[in-house]
């Protein structure tokens, strides 16, 4: 099926509306913001993971605003937002970004949260900022005051911070129900386990082959 000028124009309008989320008049400013964000991340030694991290923070926060709250058949009093399942993806990207940028990942996080104030509601953006601050504080404390290797620190950081920052975010965003809470934590811990396993495989040196005497 061939595309028509009207359909192409509709797609272009949809693309512009997605970028300039609040008003199409904001498009030049938003595009300048994208360019400035890219320059800042590059100067901070951020590469592919950093760009993805800064993009995924406002995307997930925006998704909470439009995703429907589903009533569970066995517990209709508890709403469930399907976006909570993928919150662990942010953690995965964040940990790989930290390997690129080290402690400068905090600046990338602030940029992502800053964009959230444009693409999400103030309540969700503020809740996200508070949750990220808690997670980063726990991670900083483990990195500073413990001697655990990175793979262990990733799991410990998630296990300690996930229940706290999840509660803070969902409460601030007004999505706090038990299904949302438990699925968000499961997603974060699963993501942490994936990253920890990848990092651990890099930490463990390959076994040296033993030469047999003949």
Tokens of residue 156, six digits: 């410990």
112 — pLDDT class (breaks 50, 70, 90): very high
pLDDT of 41 > 90? The answer is yes
Best-predicted range by mean pLDDT among 26-40, 57-71, 93-107, 131-145?
Answer: 26-40
| Ranges in the chain annotated CATH 1.10.1760 | 46-203
210 — pLDDT class (breaks 50, 70, 90): low
- Looking at the chain, the whole-number percentage of residues with pLDDT higher than 90 is 36
pLDDT of 74 > 60? The answer is yes
Taking alpha carbons only, the member of 55, 113, 118 closest to residue 89 is: 55
Q: What pLDDT shows up at residue 214?
A: 46
Tokens of residue 204, six digits: 């463990």
Taking alpha carbons only, the member of 147, 132, 121, 65 closest to residue 98 is: 132
CATH for 46-203 (1.10.1760, 1.20.1070, 1.10.3470, 1.20.120): 1.10.1760
Beta strands in 83-200 (DSSP E): none
Give the C-alpha separation, 176 to 189, whole Å.
18
């Amino acid at each position: 099926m061939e595309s028509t000028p009207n359909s192409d124009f509709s797609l272009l309008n949809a693309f512009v509306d997605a970028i300039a989320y609040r008003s199409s008049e904001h498009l030049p400013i938003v595009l300048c913001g994208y360019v400035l964000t890219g320059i800042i991340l590059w100067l901070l030694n951020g590469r592919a993971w950093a760009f993805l991290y800064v993009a995924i923070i406002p995307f997930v926060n925006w998704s909470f605003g439009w995703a429907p709250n589903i009533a569970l058949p066995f517990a209709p009093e508890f709403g469930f937002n399907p976006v909570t399942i993928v919150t662990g993806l942010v953690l995965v990207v964040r940990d790989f970004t930290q390997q690129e940028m080290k402690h400068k990942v905090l600046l990338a996080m602030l940029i992502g949260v800053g964009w959230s104030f444009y693409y999400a509601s103030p309540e969700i953006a503020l809740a996200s900022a508070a949750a990220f601050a808690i997670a980063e504080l726990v991670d900083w404390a483990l990195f500073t005051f413990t001697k655990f290797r990175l793979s262990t620190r990733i799991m410990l950081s998630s296990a300690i911070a996930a229940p706290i920052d999840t509660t803070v975010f969902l409460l601030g965003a007004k999505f706090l129900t038990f299904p949302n809470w438990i699925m968000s934590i499961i997603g974060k811990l699963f993501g942490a386990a994936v990253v920890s396993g990848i990092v651990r495989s890099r930490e463990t040196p390959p076994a040296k082959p033993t030469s047999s005497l003949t």
